Amino acid sequence: MLNALRRSKDRKHTAACLNQALVARAREPVFFLTLGVQDTLDGRFDLVALHAWLVLSRLTAAGATALSQAFVDTVFITFDEALRELGAGDIGIGKRLKKLAKAFYGRMRAYGEAKDEAAMEAALIRNLYRGANEPSAKVLARYVLRAKAHLAASDLENGELDFGPLPDEE
């Protein structure tokens, strides 16, 4: 019983570490200043969702189901906290989180279905760039696929998260 509680606590801690690293990467200025992502709530949400997809893809490949769930829980706790900081109250928070969840899982599906650079670019244009033909989408698609490959060597189950070089460092 105590070991199960300890494992749960460890998973929550690991998930929090992964989420913290993910948020730090998603806030990198290169995405906004160089790659044309809008520095808005939507743009920031989309970058978090994109990087969360990368993490979840790796955790799924590793068969880390419990850690995957703890990670998603942590991501949504972060969304909840952000909405509350923006003034959302208890009454409206549920509807907003439901809307975010729908958008989040829609993006998970879209990115998961993108099997090559062209498909990833199309998914990014549709979701991250809101249908605008952004020339930087190709660079971002290349970054995403490289980050996914780079994450294969990361020990996420021990909280080690390394997306590899930023797009401007490639």
Quick: pLDDT tens for 87-111. 766 677 778 888 989 999 999 999 9
pLDDT of residue 79: 82
Query: 116 φ, ψ to 5°?
Result: -145, 180
Cα 59 to chain centroid distance, Å, stands at 12
Q: State the DSSP code for 153.
A: T
From the CB of residue 164, how many other CB atoms can be counted at a distance below 10 Å? 15
Q: What span, in angstroms and rounded, lies between the C-alpha atoms of 139 and 88?
A: 35
**Alpha-helical runs (H) found in 27-136:** 29-33, 41-61, 65-85, 90-113, 117-127
Q: What span, in angstroms and rounded, lies between the C-alpha atoms of 20 and 24?
A: 6
Nearest alpha carbon to residue 64 among 56, 54, 75, 52: 56
Q: What span, in angstroms and rounded, lies between the C-alpha atoms of 140 and 145?
A: 9
Q: Is the pLDDT of residue 81 over 90?
A: no
Q: Is the pLDDT of residue 43 over 80?
A: yes
Q: Is the pLDDT of residue 1 over 70?
A: no
Q: What is the pLDDT of residues 113-145, one digit of tens each?
A: 999 999 999 999 999 999 898 889 999 999 999
Q: What span, in angstroms and rounded, lies between the C-alpha atoms of 135 and 36?
A: 9
Cα 48 to chain centroid distance, Å, stands at 4
- Domain positions in the chain are 12-163
- Confidence at 2, pLDDT banded by 50, 70, 90: very low
pLDDT of residue 6: 54
pLDDT of residue 62: 92
pLDDT of residue 5: 45
Q: In the structure encoding, which two tokens stand for residue 63, read together?
A: 């068969």
Q: Is the pLDDT of residue 41 over 70?
A: yes
| Amino acid symbol at 107 | R
Q: What is the mean pLDDT of residues 30-34?
A: 96
From the CB of residue 21, how many other CB atoms can be counted at a distance below 10 Å? 19
Nearest alpha carbon to residue 22 among 163, 165, 169: 163
Percent of the chain surpassing pLDDT 70: 90
Q: What is the mean pLDDT of residues 8-12?
A: 80
